[in-house]
Every structure is written in C-alpha cells, then in structure tokens.
C-alpha cells in the first residue's frame, strides 16, 4: 500500500492518523524531497491556505515536479481561489443539488456543507459532496448553499485544520484514515464531439505569439487539410463548445482569460494546445527548476530561496547571479544581481508577491537556442541573439520600449544532437503540448534555461525553414488527437466513430 506524506505548516498542529502516514512541515517539504519513490508516495497537503504563490501552493507544485501524486493539486488551488475558473463545474454541481433537494425536500434555508475527502457532514447532500470532491480534489471543502430564490451553490472554498473544532477534527481524521486506505482515482475527463479548430488570439496584443501572416498560414493549412479554422477572441468563450479543438495563439497567464479558455476546453473534452497543466507548469520557474533537478536536465546552478536563505545563495552562487520572479515571462521579472545589497533589495521586492524566489548562477552567451517541441518531437530551431549591449534577448527600456536581438532559423537537422536531446528531456515531464525550450551552449556544456508554453511562431522566422509544413504539422497533431478520442485504442470496431479529414 502506498505511503502517505501529510504536509502541515507546523508538525505539532496535527497528529498522523495511522502507521501509513508521516507528517512533514511545509518548509521541510520544500527544502528536501521525502524519501521513497514516486510510485510509493502520496502527498496530502494540509497547509493553512492555498493562495497563489503561497507556501501551500508551492508544496503542491513541487510535489508534482517531483512526480508525486498530491491533493490538492496546484491546478485545483487555482480553481478554488478564482471563482471564474470553477464556474465551469457549477452547472453540473447545481444540477446534482437540485436532485438532492427534490429527493430530501429540506427546509428552505442556507446550508454550509463540509466535505471531508468526499464525505459530507449532511446526509441530505451526500451525492453532491461526492461530486464536489470529484471535481475539486481537496481534503476539506466548504460549500455555501443558498435556498432563496432557488437552491444554488454560492461558493466553494477550501478549509484549513486551524478553523476546525474538536468534533470536526475527529470527523476529518476518520475521513483521512478511510481515504489513505482507498485507491486514488484520477479526476474525471469528459469526451469530445465535433471537428473544427478555434484559434484564440488578441488582434491588439503588442507582442503576440503569432503575427497576422502566421495566423493566415494556419488558416491556409486548415483549408488544405479540410479543417475549419476560425479565429476567435476573448468574447467567444461562450461559443467555445461549438468547436472541436482549441489552439491558443495569445500570451498565456494563469490569472488571465487564456487559462480559462484552456480550462473550459478541457471540461468540454476538446484537444487544446496549450493545455491548462502545461500553462501552469511552464509559468512557474520553481516548478521547472525542481523538475529539472530530479530528472537530470542540465541547468545552471539553481537555488529555491525563502527569506532565510539569501546569505546561503550569496555563498553558493556568488556574484553576479540571476534572480527570477517565479511566474515572470518575456524577460520581465528577471534581475541580474551584482552584490549582496542588490540581492536584498530585489528579494525584498519579490517577497511581497511570492513566498519563494529563484536564484541561478549567471551564464552569458552570445545567443540562446530556442527549440520548438510538439508532442515530444522537434518542430523548429532558432538562434536568438542577445539584445545589443545587454545580457538578455529582450531589453525593456524605462520608456516602455522593448529592444530585441537578432534571430536566425536553422534546419532541425543542423542543430547539435546534445541540444535537441536536452530540449526533449526538458519537456518530457511537462506534457505533450507545444513548447519552446531556451538553451545555452557553452564550452562547459549545455544548459537549459527554461521551457515556455505557447512559444512564438512568426511568419518568416520560426517557419523560415519548413514554411507551410510547420503549420500542417501543427494541425495534423490536432487531427491525431481528435482521431484518438473518436477511436480510443481497445474499443470495439462497431463502437468507434468514423471521421474523415480532407
């Protein structure tokens, strides 16, 4: 039976319920991976809060980076923190609430339903409790239900141990004991229905992932393959279910409608590039650093820092070093640190937003490799040179201007094998989506800097070598995913759908 690691902020605030569980503090969990293989460990995160970039969030994020199964996942935390993300699930849960009300006919008054690992504290809403936990795998959930004017769920939020009385703790402990003896099931995934491709873009975005000519080439590739490609904007979220698949060609972010589009696409059973898990994992450099460390991907010397480890970083990395905001992008939130005074000043500013920051040894090269990876295969290769008189590809001026270095596309066959192998290894633990891997090639070896979801694909740059074949390859990947979903392996032939493209 798997061993369970229960993560708490303080080890004296909870007692592990059985020999199959061990307690560890959140800070110890972040600093040191628990002993034991990923297959034998399950992590239950009981931190006091699950706010974005907080201690509890990083515990789950790092557990996932280490290949461990954890509840709640970082993805679930985001859903529960931002109501606009979990609205996707509310229609189904309110439907179940209506069934429970029709069956038990409760008095019309407000109800606070507590859900402990899928078991509710109110037998009238037993099935609702189970389905809520199935949608949001979180140890304890509070579901606020209003009865007037109609029975409906007002909010769903996680609850900490700290707010429980003795009776609630007893019930929680019993539920935890049962849960650790049960088999962990994956979250339910819906199935798709039709064929057509929505391409999400922002016509006013200053630095979009694809320019207008590249978007035209996507449409042309669709025509040649018999795929109906339609450009959509943020206003089309309500229409998303009309399409068969979603391709996001807009800069993604977790607290942004692009992530909500990706979440809704998954809920509708649609193939989506990039998917919400890829967006979540690529958007946080702490996750990437931990995953690289555990999988042996070559990177610069890297440290995950909290407020107590700044002096340690100075001693181990020396100066200059690079300090990064965990969820920065496009060279924003990346600082070159020349001395201890710089480090304290920048760290103090970052710690106002995040409990954890990233520090890396400084490595300068004339250019970075950018290797495009699609479903574990190289798609394109470019060299991005540093901006003039600067140590980064992009230089953000104080007046708002952005200066950019020179770019050059190369045939994938001309890329050194060690560079391609590093790019493939870096994306293996993230998913099967579309990624851009930034790599430095030095006399000392190859160093992976980061992996970006939703990488740039511009006409005349990333597609300079393969031209229209690049876009056909992208769309054929959507076709492959649609065919796999329509004809799952192992299904009886007569049960399979028959779909023809082109």
Position 21 scores a pLDDT of 81
The pLDDT of 44-66, averaged and rounded, is 91
Residue that wins the pLDDT comparison between 193 and 110: 110
> CATH fold of 3-78, please?
Rossmann fold (3.40.50)
> Residue 165: pLDDT band by 50, 70, 90 thresholds?
confident
Position 82 scores a pLDDT of 77
Residue that wins the pLDDT comparison between 421 and 338: 421
pTM of the model: 0.75
The full 3-state SS of 369-431, as one line of letters, equals EEEEEECCEEEEEEEEECCCCCCCCEEECCCCCEEECCEEEECHHHCCHHHHHHHHHHHHCCC
84-180 is a CATH 3.30.470 domain? yes
Check whether 122 has a pLDDT greater than 80: yes
Q: Which residues contact 51 (CB under 8 A, 6 or more apart)?
A: 57, 77, 81
Residue that wins the pLDDT comparison between 67 and 387: 67
CA distance 485 to 497: 9
Q: Please give the CATH number for the structural domain made up of 301-361.
A: 3.30.1490.20
Check whether 17 has a pLDDT greater than 70: no
Length of the chain as a residue count: 502
> Where in the sequence of the chain do the CATH 3.30.470.20 domains occur?
367-476
Position 278 scores a pLDDT of 95
Give the tens place of pLDDT for each residue, 217-236: 999 999 888 898 999 999 88
The pLDDT of 294-306, averaged and rounded, is 92
* Cβ–Cβ under 8 Å, residues 62 and 290: yes
Give the tens place of pLDDT for each residue, 374-411: 999 999 999 987 655 444 555 444 555 555 657 889 99
* Cβ–Cβ under 8 Å, residues 269 and 193: yes
Q: Where are the beta strands (DSSP E) in 117-226?
A: 119-120, 140-146, 152-158, 197-200
* Cβ–Cβ under 8 Å, residues 331 and 403: no
The pLDDT of 459-485, averaged and rounded, is 93
Position 477 scores a pLDDT of 96
> Residue 332: pLDDT band by 50, 70, 90 thresholds?
low
Position 70 scores a pLDDT of 92
Position 385 scores a pLDDT of 78
Averaged pLDDT score across all residues of the chain: 85
Position 489 scores a pLDDT of 65
> Where in the sequence of the chain do the CATH 3.40.50.10490 domains occur?
3-78
**Among 370, 374, 372, CA closest to 478:** 374
At the top level of CATH, which class does the domain 367-476 belong to? alpha beta
């Amino acid at each position: 039976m798997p061993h369970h690691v229960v993560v708490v902020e303080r080890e004296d605030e909870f007692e592990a319920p059985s020999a199959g569980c061990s307690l560890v503090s959140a800070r110890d969990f972040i600093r040191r991976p628990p002993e034991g293989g990923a297959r034998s460990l399950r992590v239950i995160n009981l931190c006091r809060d699950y706010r974005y970039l907080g201690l509890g969030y990083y515990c789950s994020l790092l557990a996932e980076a280490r290949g461990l199964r954890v509840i709640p996942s970082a993805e679930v935390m985001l859903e529960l923190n931002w109501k606009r993300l979990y609205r996707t699930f509310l229609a189904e849960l309110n439907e179940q609430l209506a069934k429970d009300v029709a069956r038990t006919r409760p008095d019309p008054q407000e109800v606070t339903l507590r859900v402990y690992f899928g078991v509710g504290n109110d037998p009238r809403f037993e099935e609702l409790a189970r389905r809520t936990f199935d949608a949001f795998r979180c140890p304890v959930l509070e579901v606020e239900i209003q009865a007037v004017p109609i029975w409906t769920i007002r909010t769903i939020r996680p609850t900490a141990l700290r707010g429980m009385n003795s009776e609630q703790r007893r019930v929680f402990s019993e539920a935890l004991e049962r849960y650790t003896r049960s088999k962990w099931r994956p979250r339910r995934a819906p199935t798709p229905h039709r064929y057509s491709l929505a391409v999400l873009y922002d016509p006013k975005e200053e630095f979009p992932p694809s320019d207008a000519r590249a978007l035209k080439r996507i449409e042309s590739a669709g025509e040649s393959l018999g795929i109906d490609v339609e450009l959509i904007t943020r206003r089309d979220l309500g229409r998303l279910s009309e399409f068969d698949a979603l391709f996001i060609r807009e800069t993604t972010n977790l607290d942004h409608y692009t992530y909500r589009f990706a979440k809704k696409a998954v809920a509708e059973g649609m193939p989506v590039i990039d998917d919400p898990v890829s967006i979540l994992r690529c958007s946080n450099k702490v996750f990437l650093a931990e995953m690289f460390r555990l999988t042996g991907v070559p990177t610069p010397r890297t440290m995950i820092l909290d407020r107590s480890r700044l002096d340690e970083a100075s001693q181990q990395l020396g100066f200059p070093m690079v300090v990064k905001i965990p969820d920065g992008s496009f060279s924003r939130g990346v600082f070159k640190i020349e001395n201890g005074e710089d480090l304290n000043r920048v760290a103090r500013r970052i710690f106002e937003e995040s409990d954890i920051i990233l520090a890396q040894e400084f490595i300068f090269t004339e250019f970075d490799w950018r290797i495009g990876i699609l479903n574990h295969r190289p798609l394109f290769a470019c060299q991005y040179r540093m901006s003039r008189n600067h140590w980064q590809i992009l230089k953000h001026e104080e007046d708002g201007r952005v200066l950019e270095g020179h770019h050059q596309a190369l045939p994938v066959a001309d890329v050194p094998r060690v560079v391609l192998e590093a790019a493939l290894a870096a994306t293996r633990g993230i998913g099967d989506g579309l990624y851009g891997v930034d790599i430095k090639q030095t006399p000392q070896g190859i160093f992976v800097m980061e992996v970006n979801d939703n990488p740039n694909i511009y006409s005349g740059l990333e597609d300079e070598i393969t031209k229209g074949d690049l876009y056909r390859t992208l769309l054929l990947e959507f076709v492959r995913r649609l065919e796999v979903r329509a004809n799952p392996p192992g299904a009886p032939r007569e049960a399979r759908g028959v779909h023809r493209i082109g």
